[in-house]
Structure 1
């Protein structure tokens, strides 16, 4: 279905994505690329169009096949793209990914398009989970995408500040290494799992007291998905040592950079607080590149 919307430079048309739009859409995605993200490939785009992702795969499996639309001008130049889907179990709509070079009237038109198709009486979430276009960006990097944030909020979406997005170049000097580290494969998220075991009975290896998961590097960029230390083993420097071992493993796998996502749980929740972890990452030399927001619009 194609519609015509007046724009500042003539008529703008919205239609479904076609194979001929691939290179233009890849250029739009690339224009929004931020530090720590590889260039999106044709294969990554194909996965996203089909509704698949190596990260948050369970969420994607609950959706109908996504619909992807593009905005173009009278000359046929593709100016923006948006992909969206519905979750049949509860009828929620999702804006999965959207790119328009941060041009206000293009981005606003893309948001309006989704709401017009899904219906304003439907609950709609935006940037709720990661797509195949990136390395785990579970949210909109609002510092780099202020126009997209403004367009969503102008359309009635409320914002949720959920994640810090951190980055560093490897190697990072001065980090200790953990002992008794066991390395194996991880299926979800895909990559490698590191486990540090405590002392068992008779001095043997006991249950894991600390674990970490890293993603295999893409274009020299590795992801540190998660580090956790059991409450009884905290305050011994084990988290920092496991961070050093994890980054060393990423370097051995070919990573020249590392990225990390930290969900900011309020400090008054002691069981899930990330305050100590954030301090550790900051001291180790990881730098906050942006904050990742999700959005929700209620009927």
Structure 2
């Protein structure tokens, strides 16, 4: 697995480094900028718009890219977002940060997980709303509350990733509503994140 590669987007240097990695690894399937987990606390793939030379060098070395994630950003505070009522906040270890939970009685119907800000940048890891509680504005309200929590922890900017690579017709992984919510809230797309693999 090629976990990280940076050569100031000098195509020739990137190409040499990739060849070196492939020679060192020998004949095997190789992954590059692979997303092992949404909780790896690292860059979730290669931002192809900002790293075109690296993307081209990978393809020319026989890698195939998969467009997996939308990488988004906003500065805080974002104005005029609703807020959730009666949610609880607890500390979580993986990832380090906080979990906001909204319950209907004893049933957990929505949650958000935020990362501890670093250098003024916080991460919204995810917002999840149970199917039975959707279309009531709970996701947007939880987003507003999450951004307030992050700002209270010192975040001046917030980033998030949307894994909108779902196959057509897969309702469990359809991120159309999530993308619409983040766009409406004022998040801007920074880049698309790709992962790569190369057969033996």
Q: Which runs of 5+ in 1 are unaligned?
A: 1-93, 201-205
Runs of 4+ in 1 over 3 A off after TM superposition: none
Post-superposition Cα deviations, 1:77-126, rounded to whole Å, max 9, x if no partner, equal xxxxxxxxxxxxxxxxx00100111011100000000001111x210000
Structure whose CA Rg is larger: 1
8 Å CA contact retained: 1:267, 1:275 = no
Residue matched to 1:249? 149
Judging changes above 3 Å, is the alpha-carbon distance between structure 1 residues 267 and 235 closer, same or farther for their aligned structure 2 residues? farther
Residue matched to 1:158? 64
The root-mean-square deviation of aligned C-alpha atoms, in Å, is: 1.4
- For 1:267 and 1:281, the matched residues in 2 are separated by 21
Post-superposition Cα deviations, 1:260-282, rounded to whole Å, max 9, x if no partner, equal 00001245211221110000000
| Equivalent of 2:127 in 227, 235, 255 | 227
8 Å CA contact retained: 2:41, 2:95 = no
Residue matched to 2:99? 193
- For 2:48 and 2:82, the matched residues in 1 are separated by 34
Judging changes above 3 Å, is the alpha-carbon distance between structure 1 residues 256 and 137 closer, same or farther for their aligned structure 2 residues? same
Residue matched to 1:108? 15
Post-superposition Cα deviations, 1:205-249, rounded to whole Å, max 9, x if no partner, equal x22110000001000000000000000000000000000000000
Does the residue aligned with 2:4 lie in a helix, a strand or coil? strand
- For 2:3 and 2:192, the matched residues in 1 are separated by 18
Q: Which runs of 5+ in 2 are unaligned?
A: none
Q: How does 1:1-299 map to 2 (within 5 A)?
A: 94-119=1-26, 121-129=27-35, 136-198=42-104, 200=105, 206-264=106-164, 265-299=166-200
> How high is the TM-score relative to the length of structure 1?
0.64
8 Å CA contact retained: 1:176, 1:244 = yes
> How high is the TM-score relative to the length of structure 2?
0.95
Higher RCO structure (Cα 8 Å, ≥6 apart): 2
